Amino acid sequence: MRPSAWCLVLLLFCVTLLGFPALMAGDEGSDFLDRKEQDVEKIVDQVVGNAGRQCELLAACDNPTSCSHDACSMEDTGGSVCMDVINNMLCTTYGTTDTPCKNINFDFGVSYVRNAESTNLNSVDTMLAICSQKPLEALFKTLSNATVLSRAYFGSITGSYRIYPGLPKHPDDCRKFDPRIRPWYRTSTSVAKNVVVLIDLAASMGNNLPPDLGAGTILEAAKKIAKELLTTLSAQDYVNIIVYDSSRVIQLSRSAVLVKEHNGTEAAELNFLRTELDKQTVEGQSRQSNISAAILAALPNFESNPQAAKVVIVITDGVFANFGNVSLPTIELSSSRVKVFIFKVKQPQDNDIFLKNNTLIQELCSVGGHFEPILKNLENPLLAFRQYFSYLASLKRILTNGRPQYSQVYEDTDATFGGNIITVAKPVFVEGALIGVAGITIYIEALGRITDQVKQALGSRMTGYSLAAPDVVLNAANCSLVSETLQPCGSSTAYYAQNGGMCKLRADSRKDTIQELLCCGNCSAPASSDDDKHQLSQGVIGGIVVGGIVGGVVGIGLLVFLVRWIKHNREGPFPGPFPGQDD
């Protein structure tokens, strides 16, 4: 082969080498998202495995190595890494008083746990959720690193939330975060739905709660539950509230109210329902509440979106059953395919907690309904109503064939650094019951050169909410009844964690201000060394160094070859044969 031919081959090779990354760029976004989906599946598998060992892990939870770090503790664990962000709103650029800086400390030492305001650390269910999922920390450390910012998490049905890398929160607002009302949780666990909440106004609903369930009246508890349920609704859902007794059936809104996007806040369009609900009082005399009439009044509300899931939630004390057998409009419910949940708040003296002596249970079961007495976790209604959320999540699982789902791109409401984010998440079930949502948060602006490719790839993935629900036949086969009281791990005191499984506060490592924990890099006075920025840039610097060496070698080799080729053209035959060249 002539030298000129070898030069042409080398030139084509260089062009191909230089163009290969551009050819592959279109797939980088899809490959990135594929890896994240696989990572989410790993988290789901780990959560299920941990749940299978929950009693064992709870028993060991008081061990200092098994407790979980409280995001609200203001403690410095020593694992902070300074990273670039869009804006650190809690720190200012060094030398200024009002310019947000571009760095923040993430804790890559341990996972952090936040608990919602309604989460009760004395609840065994909460302890199980916290203690059993501590082993996720080791997996999280393999999925998130300081090169490209993403955060792995698990949001429990109890309201506890484990995330890595950690970010400290000020105690004043730390517990205002509830994972169960965040967009990623709702996207993963729900479908478009029409929900009608029925609240019993029988005279007995004015009785005080049993001491083990809390303070206040049963009706006050029912109102609180209904308001909590409103926060879990998503855009395009419809909702209404009906109150009823022996003679009254009052629909608080003339028609079902359409929910708008509220990003985890209280939707303003539902304020009317909240206000009207507060006005409701119990019936003056002890009579049998007409639950059948209330259910019939609910049915027209489902015309708002016939393709949505149709759900009736009844909150009652069940005293109506003491007056005799109760009939339900089973024909109408069956033809409308409405799922009915009856939650019974027990009375202080309740001789038939499970309504075993009433035909209501049989009729409810014939239309695939659910009955459950609320015997615990009343202070945490979203946990007490787990079966309702499990049903919705199972519908979503049918629609998605069990694949992880993407939220819409939205602005992070975290006042710390904000920015546009998207989450890929998947609901986690154990024995058919929803126990939470596993996922990964992706910070769009932190993706660097693949940002556009990832955005393009997201267009072909399922995102957001579905306006239709799967068509499910409701009959005795999918009826569910809670007919006995069971403790998850038995009654032994060995299955109890001090402080709910959260680590005890170490006073010597506690900081006085959140800025001491979060400010780094250009957010604070120059340090004595460049350690902070070095921690962030190790991977990047390593890539630059390796790339520089390889590029330099290739460049020198090409230069030497060109010099020899020029010399050949000027002076005669090319010195020495090429491999394979004829002599």
Q: What is the pLDDT of residues 26-53, one digit of tens each?
A: 589 999 999 999 999 999 999 999 999 9
- Of the candidates 396, 435, 409, 411, which has an alpha carbon nearest to the alpha carbon of residue 308? 396
Q: Say how far apart CA 245 and CA 282 lie, in whole Å.
A: 8
- Of the candidates 432, 323, 439, which has an alpha carbon nearest to the alpha carbon of residue 36? 439
Segment (H or E) for 567: helix 531-571
Q: What is the DSSP letter of 467?
A: S
Average pLDDT rounded to a whole number, residues 397-421: 80
pLDDT at residue 317 in the model: 97
Burial class (CB in 10 A: 0-12, 13-18, 19+), 494: exposed
Give bridge partners of residue 29 from the DSSP assignment: none
Q: Which residue has the tokens 């007794």?
A: 245
Does the pLDDT value for residue 550 go beyond 70? no
CA atoms lying within 13 Å on the CB side of residue 266: 10
Enumerate residues 6+ apart whose C-beta is below 8 A from 436: 47, 129, 154, 155, 156, 157, 158, 179, 427, 428
3-class DSSP string for 11-45: HHHHHHHHHHHHHHHHHHHHHHHHHHHHHHHHHHH
Give bridge partners of residue 502 from the DSSP assignment: 68
Contact 355, 318 (CB under 8 A): yes
pLDDT at residue 156 in the model: 98
| Amino acid, single-letter form, for residue 248 | R
pLDDT at residue 84 in the model: 86
**Weakest mean pLDDT among 84-88, 218-222, 425-429:** 84-88
CB atoms near residue 215 (< 10 Å): 10
pLDDT at residue 264 in the model: 55
Band (463; pLDDT cuts 50, 70, 90): low
Q: Say how far apart CA 458 and CA 461 lie, in whole Å.
A: 5
Please provide the distance, in angstroms rounded to a whole number, between the alpha carbons at the two ends of the chain: 10
Q: Say how far apart CA 564 and CA 573 lie, in whole Å.
A: 11
Residue 513, token pair as written in the block: 């201000």
pLDDT at residue 529 in the model: 40
- Whole-number percent of the chain with pLDDT over 70: 82
Alpha carbon 5 to its chain centroid, in Å, reads 60
- Whole-number percent of the chain with pLDDT over 90: 62
pLDDT at residue 418 in the model: 62
Does the pLDDT value for residue 495 go beyond 80? no
Q: What is the dihedral of CA 401, 402, 408, 409, to 10 degrees?
A: -130
Q: What is the pLDDT of residues 298-341, one digit of tens each?
A: 999 999 999 999 999 999 999 999 898 899 999 999 999 999 99
| Mean pLDDT of all residues belonging to the chain | 85
Measured in degrees and rounded to the nearest 5, phi and psi for residue 97 equal: -115, -15
- Listing DSSP states for 310-352 in one string gives EEEEEEE-SGGGGGS-----HHHHHHHT-EEEEEEEPPSS-S-
Enumerate residues 6+ apart whose C-beta is below 8 A from 449: none
Strands 150-156 and 160-164: antiparallel
pLDDT at residue 152 in the model: 97
Q: What is the pLDDT of residues 226-266, one digit of tens each?
A: 999 999 999 899 999 999 999 999 999 999 999 987 665 67
pLDDT at residue 67 in the model: 95
Which sign, positive or negative, has the C-alpha torsion 455, 267, 418, 169?
A: negative
Measured in degrees and rounded to the nearest 5, phi and psi for residue 381 equal: -60, -35
Does the pLDDT value for residue 563 go beyond 50? no
Answer yes or no: pTM beyond 0.95: no
Q: What is the pLDDT of residues 355-381, one digit of tens each?
A: 988 899 999 999 999 999 999 999 999
Give bridge partners of residue 68 from the DSSP assignment: 502
Q: Say how far apart CA 157 and CA 259 lie, in whole Å.
A: 22
Long-range contacts of 137-144 (CB under 8 A, 24+ apart): 137/110, 137/111, 137/162, 137/164, 139/42, 139/43, 139/46, 140/43, 140/111, 140/164, 141/108, 143/39, 143/42, 143/43, 143/440, 144/108, 144/440
pLDDT at residue 120 in the model: 92
Average pLDDT rounded to a whole number, residues 407-423: 74
Residue 373, token pair as written in the block: 């007495």
Strands 370-374 and 405-406: unpaired
Strands 80-92 and 249-251: unpaired
- Listing DSSP states for 543-557 in one string gives HHHHHHHHHHHHHHH
Band (86; pLDDT cuts 50, 70, 90): confident
pLDDT at residue 336 in the model: 94
Local structure of 235: helix, strand or coil: coil
Q: Which residue has the tokens 């190790």?
A: 538
Does the pLDDT value for residue 577 go beyond 90? no
Contact 52, 440 (CB under 8 A): no
Give bridge partners of residue 259 from the DSSP assignment: none
Residue 230, token pair as written in the block: 């409103």
pLDDT at residue 547 in the model: 47
| Amino acid, single-letter form, for residue 348 | P
Which sign, positive or negative, has the C-alpha torsion 486, 491, 495, 496?
A: positive
Q: What is the pLDDT of residues 258-310, one digit of tens each?
A: 998 766 567 899 999 999 999 999 999 999 999 999 999 999 999 999 999 99
Contact 139, 153 (CB under 8 A): no
Show the DSSP H helices in 214-369 as ranges. Answer: 218-230, 271-278, 291-298, 330-336, 359-366
Q: Say how far apart CA 293 and CA 526 lie, in whole Å.
A: 72
Local structure of 251: helix, strand or coil: strand
